[in-house]
Structure 1
Amino acid sequence: MSDLIGPELVAVLRRLKLSLILPTLPDRLALARQHKLPYQDLLLTVLADEVSRRDSNAVAVRAAKARLDPAMRLERWDDTARVTFDRALLQELASLRFLDQHEHVAIIGPVGVGKTFLAHALGHLACARGATVLAIRTDRLLKTLRHARLDHTVEAEMRRLIAVDLLVLDDFGLDAMDPTESRDVYELFLERHRAGSIIVTSNRGPDEWLATFADPMRAQSAIDRFTSNAYDLVLDGESYRQRLKPSRDRAQPTEEPRSTKKK
């Protein structure tokens, strides 16, 4: 610990749960002395560091609770990938105005083009804005509701799914649903209509989702509500997933070339 920080100050900061200030405090004190900063400016700088640190921690906690992949962020998207989509629309979605308006997003495209990546990236932006987010694969969501029904907690689980600001449903419309699952999805879409946003990723278009419901009437009602209030981001191209795959060249250290110099 720096000579600039006495044990009394350390004790007070720890008592106030501000001990994370300590690692950067010596540098701040030295800088204040060098530039002859007024006391109030020094105090503002130190407290601003703490606010920034707490904000970052809060975002990280929200993203972890949301089950978002930490690597899937918009700034990490590889623009050299041969994946085509409406870049202007993605920029609009990244503004999160759709979230403010309780609108939805359908990210449609073949397997591996980056649908989940972009959905999670938008989820991270929402977390940074302070929104509550939950990302879950559709089959796991249905399994969770099935188990909740067995232990009589399905109503609480549905309330949790309805309450979040942004629900990300990955791989929607892949498998046929039984009557109970169809009713659950119908209720979820109905309750979240104009009350919260949903991002759906699927390799099938909305017109093909109808066949996955056991009840055609509920299917039409749920899908009409979703599509009438949703942006369609359509992706096509080469597999983006292959770009995320670790390569042998990156996994192994480069060998030193053998010398060909004669002794």
Structure 2
Amino acid sequence: MLIQQTITKLQNLHLIGMAKGFDDQLSSVAAMSLSFEERFGILIDQETTYRENQRLKRLLKTAKLKFNSCVEDIDYQHNRGLDKSQMASLVTCQWIEKGVNLIMTGLTGSGKTWLACAFGNQACRQGKTVLFQRLPLLLEELQISHADGSFRKRLAQLAKCDLLILDDFGMAALTIQGRSDLLEVIDSRVGGRSTIVTSQIPVENWYGYLSGGNPTVADAILDRIISGSLRIPLQGESMRKLRK
């Protein structure tokens, strides 16, 4: 009865990892041969691991990544122009800590979104907050938010995450409002927050897509996204075709 009460108290204190570890030790012959200090140290490790796993689950759930991809599964066999030394540097996520942007361009199926989600997953594993957004849908949501008065709140949410993934840049025509909203989103993240932008449009053609009769806004967006950014121009055939 005393043992069950101890387990219940641990659970009530939200020490779930320790409660599970304590229960496991009771049925472990090997654990009985350990000293109190050793057994207690194992319980602390189990609680730490449990909390880290729970935090990772929360971060991944909030990130809403399109693919459950990870950096360990990056395909280097097919020639896509990936630089292994650059990829190794990106995996450390130091660029996120410095607030550097990452631009990935390439034809449809080249793996831009998959790779962006892999970096998002890696950032979550390092305790960073991530948010995946398809840019066309995000701009529609922001347009609606102007009507219901939630634009500033939504902008603040986008501004505070450590890594924002804007997928499918250039897939839909920009309205005047959409162009202005995109500038607000990018500007709110300058100076400390990183953004991944994926696009089928080469960077040199972005100005034509963004200008739409307003070169001032286009210049402002490009300056904030491109200045000091890292780039991965993906090459080769569609990965979907190759996998088939």
- TM-score above 0.5: yes
Aligned to 1:84: 81
Tell me how large the CA RMSD over aligned residues is: 2.1
Aligned to 1:234: 233
Matching residue within 171, 175, 178 for 1:178: 175
Report the alpha carbon displacement of residue 88 of structure 1 after superposing the two structures with TM. 1.5
Matching residue within 10, 33, 41 for 2:38: 41
Deviation per CA, 1:203-251: give whole Å up to 9, x if none.
Answer: 1122212222232111112102221120011111122234666xxxxxx
Question: What TM-score, normalized to structure 2?
Answer: 0.90
Q: Distance in 1 between matches of 2:167 and 2:137?
A: 10
The letter of the residue matching 1:226 is I
Q: Distance in 1 between matches of 2:67 and 2:175?
A: 33
Name the % identity: 27
8 Å CA contact 1:168, 1:199 repeated in 2: yes
Question: What TM-score, normalized to structure 1?
Answer: 0.84
Aligned to 1:257: none
Which structure 1 residue ranges, 5 or more long, are not aligned?
A: 246-263
8 Å CA contact 2:16, 2:50 repeated in 1: no
The letter of the residue matching 1:161 is L
Aligned to 1:200: 197
Matches within 5 A, 1:30-179: 30=28, 31-33=30-32, 36-69=33-66, 71-179=68-176
The letter of the residue matching 2:94 is R
Q: Higher helix proportion, which one?
A: 2
8 Å CA contact 1:86, 1:234 repeated in 2: no
Of 216-225 and 186-195, deviating more is 186-195
Report the alpha carbon displacement of residue 180 of structure 1 after superposing the two structures with TM. 0.7
8 Å CA contact 1:105, 1:199 repeated in 2: yes
Q: Distance in 2 between matches of 1:52 and 1:167?
A: 27
The letter of the residue matching 2:192 is A
Matching of residue 217 in structure 1 with residue 200 in structure 2: no
Higher-Rg structure is 1
Q: Distance in 2 between matches of 1:156 and 1:10?
A: 42
Q: Distance in 2 between matches of 1:210 and 1:70?
A: 29
Report the alpha carbon displacement of residue 19 of structure 1 after superposing the two structures with TM. 4.3
Q: Distance in 1 between matches of 2:154 and 2:199?
A: 23
